[in-house]
Amino acid sequence: MNFFKRALLSIQRRKSKSLILFLVIFILGNLMAGAIAIQQATQHVETEIKTRLGANATVSFNQEKLQKLSEEGTDIDIKEPDIKVYKELGKLDQVKFYDYSVIDYITTEKLKNVVSKDDDSILDINGIHYFTVKGASRPELIDVQMKKISLIEGNTFSQEEIEKGLPVAVISEKVATENNLHVGDSFVMDRVIEHYGTGNVDVENIERKSKEYSATVVGIFTVNQVEKKENSSKNSKQIEQEQNQQIDYYDKLNVIYFPNDYIEKTQKEMLEFNYDNFPDNFSDENSDIPDKETVLKDFSFKNIQATYVLNKPEEVEDFKLLGNQILKDNKLDYYKIEASSDQFDSIAGPIKGMANISKIVLIVSVMASVFIITLVIILFLRDRKHELGIYLSLGEKRNRVVGQIVTEVLLVAIIAMTLSVFSGNVLAKNFSESLMTTQQIDNTEDEMMIFGSPVVDFQITEDDVIDAYDIKLTPSYIVLFYLIGLIVVLLSTIVPLVYIMRLNPKKIMM
């Protein structure tokens, strides 16, 4: 008789033992299927979220290293990166385009900023208006290319305006409306410096002086906002995230773009203006006032924000590796390459927790499956050694006997695995929902909020990560599960096959 037919008859005759083997494989298959489903879902989330975060990078302080040195009491002498370093980083193969911006913060009285109607922040206090000025080293504004803002009127800077550092500006539509400005109009920035007299620090003791700068509006932009999700029931974390988004939105509205050289020139002039009018603003702890040359040297700190847009997210790690080496070679040990994808770690707590658990479950379930299924098959074969001995005594080849046993196991396994594909998927969904809910509660109070970063625009929250998480039946999931399952079953038959190959029919039949 064909060994395949014998295998079918054997399964039918031994229903109880076949059912036991079926249940063992079904239960273990559920664990493997669930673990594989969660693994694939978490990998999909990581890919999708990192794609949404973009392939962006910047140079930032290595806060962990600075904090460690500070705790150790080590003297820290921070050296500013030279422009050449930023340009060297921009020449790496992974970089699609980049820009470095000189950043400054100014206060004015005549030029009005934009504040929220229900905002009680310090953006407008006692007639003082606060702005951020951001430089550009190339005609295309990096924030436009990164889709943080959209130019709606006029143009960005020309190459000539960049090179000569001309007083030309790109402002937000709301700032333009607040100050009745249009493209082509000139406006005055009365940059204010303050001096606090001795005694109580209050409004009456503040002395102010201003230096006026004229500039021309060449472009007007709007800020691209993230679409808000309607949710009637919001927890404290979600409310805080929305508040941070609102703050970030108004911060962007109050940014004025200038050529880099123009900002550097006005920074130096304002430092001199400050010293000439209020030299005691620079006094040390002994109330000694340094000379002007010393002030211009010691207080001329250039705040540069470099942004690198990479070719694709897969190249982020290579850029970080090469970029950090460049920083190290230039003895910039207190700086590091920060990438947009780094933010994934701080918002993907529940997902990473499930990924780690599913990995452990998969490894343990595979090992347990091999051991348990092997044990079950051996126990069943010991009860059938007389049957196997008869086959061998009748001249049946050992490989055909082996084929029968393997066929029996595979037939039962395939049925059990087919059912566990679906039940394991459901199990993974229920487990994931429960675990994510628990971790969301645990992370509500201590989760770090992300906004205003030069490389990520506060577009991704923990809720976005959870929304992107979706367990579903996919061809890759089914194929991978069957592949792992069949390998486990075949490995489980190795020891039983050795048992069959060592059978001596003469001893069995005696």
Q: Could you tell me if 357 and 260 lie in one domain?
A: no
Assign 3-class secondary structure to 460-509.
Answer: CCHHHHHHHCCCCCCHHHHHHHHHHHHHHHHHHCHHHHHHHHCCCHHHHH
Q: Which helix (H) or strand (E) holds 20?
A: helix 15-53
In-domain check, residue 423: yes
Alpha-carbon torsion angle 251, 256, 262, 263, nearest 10: -10
Q: How far is CA 274 from CA 140, 260, 269, 304, 382, in A?
A: 33, 21, 9, 22, 95
Do 483 and 275 meet the contact criterion of CB atoms below 8 Å apart? no
Residues 365 and 413: their CA atoms lie apart, in Å, by 15
In-domain check, residue 108: yes
Per-residue pLDDT tens over the stretch 258-269? 999 999 999 999
Q: Could you tell me if 166 and 278 lie in one domain?
A: yes
Report, as an integer, the average pLDDT of 435-454.
Answer: 53
Q: Could you tell me if 359 and 503 lie in one domain?
A: yes
Confidence check: pLDDT of 121 > 90: no
Q: Domain total for the chain?
A: 2
Residues 339 and 345: their CA atoms lie apart, in Å, by 11
Q: Which residues contact 396 (CB under 8 A, 6 or more apart)?
A: none
**pLDDT the model gives residue 113:** 93
In-domain check, residue 97: no
Report, as an integer, the average pLDDT of 410-429.
Answer: 90
In-domain check, residue 447: yes
Whose tokens are 């905002």? That residue is 119
pLDDT category at 96 given cuts 50, 70, 90 is very high
Q: Could you tell me if 290 and 164 lie in one domain?
A: yes
Give backbone dihedrals phi and psi of 373, rounded to 5 degrees, phi first. Answer: -65, -40
**pLDDT the model gives residue 444:** 47
Confidence check: pLDDT of 422 > 60: yes
In-domain check, residue 320: no
Hey, which residues does 213 pair with through a beta bridge?
Answer: 189
Q: What is the chain's mean pLDDT, rounded?
A: 82
Q: Could you tell me if 142 and 253 lie in one domain?
A: yes
Q: Could you tell me if 441 and 370 lie in one domain?
A: yes
**pLDDT the model gives residue 442:** 53
Report, as an integer, the average pLDDT of 97-108.
Answer: 93
Q: Which helix (H) or strand (E) holds 132?
A: strand 128-136
Confidence check: pLDDT of 123 > 50: no
- More confidently predicted of 472 and 57: 57
Least confident of 168-177, 455-464, 488-497: 455-464
Q: Could you tell me if 19 and 110 lie in one domain?
A: no
Q: Could you tell me if 289 and 378 lie in one domain?
A: no
Per-residue pLDDT tens over the stretch 345-401? 666 666 777 788 888 988 999 999 999 988 888 888 777 766 766 766 766 677 777
In-domain check, residue 13: yes
Q: Could you tell me if 400 and 495 lie in one domain?
A: yes
Nearest to 471 by CA among 46, 48, 34: 34
Per-residue pLDDT tens over the stretch 179-235? 999 999 999 999 999 887 655 555 566 788 999 999 999 999 999 876 665 655 666
Confidence check: pLDDT of 296 > 60: yes
Q: Could you tell me if 485 and 377 lie in one domain?
A: yes
Per-residue pLDDT tens over the stretch 22-35? 999 999 999 999 89
**pLDDT the model gives residue 231:** 59
Whose tokens are 């924000």? That residue is 305
- More confidently predicted of 308 and 236: 308
Least confident of 166-170, 187-191, 445-449, 453-457: 445-449
Confidence check: pLDDT of 129 > 60: yes
Query: Number of helices (H) and strands (E), helices first, in the chain?
Result: 19, 11
Sign of CA dihedral 11, 17, 23, 24: negative
Do 450 and 462 meet the contact criterion of CB atoms below 8 Å apart? no
Supply the pTM of this predicted model: 0.73
Per-residue pLDDT tens over the stretch 228-254? 656 556 666 667 777 777 888 899 999
Q: Which residues contact 491 (CB under 8 A, 6 or more apart)?
A: 370, 374
Residues 491 and 217: their CA atoms lie apart, in Å, by 74
Q: Token pair for residue 86?
A: 């930023």
Confidence check: pLDDT of 131 > 90: yes
In-domain check, residue 233: yes
Do 378 and 503 meet the contact criterion of CB atoms below 8 Å apart? no
Least confident of 102-106, 257-261, 417-421, 456-460: 456-460
CB atoms within 10 A of CB 279: 15
Q: Could you tell me if 255 and 113 lie in one domain?
A: yes
Q: Could you tell me if 368 and 297 lie in one domain?
A: no
In-domain check, residue 95: no
The last residue of one of the domains, among 244, 276, 301, is 301
Sign of CA dihedral 271, 274, 280, 285: negative
398-443 vs 385-393: helix axis angle to the nearest 10? Answer: 150
**pLDDT the model gives residue 220:** 97
Which residues form the domain of 261?
A: 104-301
Report, as an integer, the average pLDDT of 96-119.
Answer: 88
- More confidently predicted of 405 and 168: 168
Q: How far is CA 143 from CA 147, 328, 487, in A?
A: 6, 28, 51
Question: What is the share, in percent, of the chain residues with pLDDT greater than 90?
Answer: 38
